[in-house]
Structure formats: C-alpha cells, structure tokens
Amino acid sequence: MDGSGLLRRKEKAMSEVEAKSFLASMNTGVLSLSSSDVPYAVPIHLVFVEDENAAYFHGASEGQKHLILKSNPTGCLIVFNEKGIKDNVSPCKTGTHYESVIVKGAIQYVNDPTEKAASLSNFVAAKTGKTIQFLPADVKGTCVMKLSIREITGKRS
C-alpha cells in the first residue's frame, strides 16, 4: 500500500500515517485518468475517509471523466501544498518547500443512497465543520465516486 519505495529521495518520504493525515487535511486535488494512452487530469473537491481507506469526490454525472472511467476505472489523485521558496545564494540550490501525496486505486460509482448521503455529509463537515445529515432522497441526482486507495506516497521538502 505504501508506495514510498518508488521515491528517489527517500529522506523526503512521508510515512503512510503522515501521508494519510495530509490527505485528510486537503479539500482539493487533481484526479488523473487515462484512456487509449491519452492522459486526462481534472481538479476535484474531495474528502478522505480513513475508515474506508478511500477518497470520495462528486460532480456532474456526464462528461470526459465518465467516458474514460467506462474503459479504465482506475485513477491517480494528487494533493499538494506549496509552502514557499527555499532561498539560496546559488540558483541551483533554490527550491520549494512543499508537501504532496499521490494515491492510486480503483474508482467506482457510489450508487447506494445511504453511502452517498454519508459521503456528502462528510464533505460538508470537512469544508465547514458543520454537521448536516443528508437523507438518501436528498442525493438522488448527485454523482458521487469513490477512489479506493491501493497505493499512497507522500513527500515533503
């Protein structure tokens, strides 16, 4: 599950616990999909649900994302936060302070009205700190997707 073995700079790797904590703190990311060797990336709002080891996102129920998911229901999600510039006299040693997490996994549509309502309640709580309980009837027209995390890699600099 932890993909940190793939990192070139091991000293910058986050532990799985740190990566999940960072993912949980983020509300937006970029979802990357691929079909016929053509990449597609789209910004999304998300919420990470640790008990399910999954990121939920929602949006329109039609469009390019859905066309790609029909042929390849896997995705890669990146969340990141730039914290500033590492200033140095030498331009070659100037860099950026940042944190980033990449997750990979299968994406499925959430069709169960109770799960859909719970995920949308989690969205509201993550974004506003408010508790709103959606009823299954409230979420009929909302398209919710779930990325089940197979691999997670985190890095900070």
4, pLDDT greater than 70? no
What dotted CATH number matches 4-156? 2.30.110.10
Three-state secondary structure call for residue 138: helix
For the chain, the domains span: 4-156
Question: Within 13 Å and on the Cβ side, how many CA atoms surround 128?
Answer: 8
pLDDT at 143: 93
Band (pLDDT 50/70/90 cuts) for residue 89 is low
d(CA 49, CA 82) in angstroms, rounded, equals 23
Mean predicted confidence (pLDDT) in 86-113 = 85
Of all residues in the chain, the percent with pLDDT exceeding 70 is 91
Backbone phi and psi for residue 49, each to the nearest 5 degrees, phi listed first:
-115, 105
- Res. 134: pLDDT tops 80: yes
